[in-house]
Amino acid sequence: EECWFPKATDVSFVEKLLNTHTGHVKFSKPKQHKDKLMFSVLHYAGKVDYNAADWLTKNMDPLNDNVTALLNNSSSAFIQDLWKDADRVVGLETMTKMSESSGPTKSKKGMFRTVGQLYKESLSKLMTTL
């Protein structure tokens, strides 16, 4: 979610991780590193140190529609519950054709929609309604 905040940085991402997960047995800040971008996760194979440099940039890609459909239709109730509000939360809502003059129906294009895109779509719906 940090990717969606306009002023988010890799440092703010790591700070949020530290604030949220400090004290958890599977999460730590590496003691030997003084870099503000470092954090550690204890995986099944052992402790892994991560460097969050360019972390947000690398994670801004939208999820493929097939992936979101797969997760929404999972046989696991837990996974379905995780994804039940994804359309509303991240702007994936499918816009239906409101009139012939509104142009073709727009469909979801990925997990990441800019505020500008959402504003433009909302304004288009308003103009069609008016």
Check residue 98 and give its pLDDT: 37
Report the first-to-last Cα separation within the chain, whole angstroms.
34
Check residue 93 and give its pLDDT: 46
Residue 68 in contact with residue 98, Cβ under 8 Å?
no
At 17, which amino acid appears?
Answer: L
CA distance 46 to 84: 33
At 74, which amino acid appears?
Answer: S
Residue 90 in contact with residue 113, Cβ under 8 Å?
yes
**Nearest partner of 42 among 54, 55, 56, 27, judged by Cα:** 27
Check residue 115 and give its pLDDT: 61
pTM of this prediction exceeds 0.95: no
Parts of the chain with a pLDDT under 50? 91-111
The DSSP bridge partners found for residue 38 are 51
Check residue 125 and give its pLDDT: 82
CATH of segment(s) 2-58? 1.20.58.530
- What residue ranges do the domains of the chain occupy? 2-58, 65-129
CA distance 87 to 94: 8
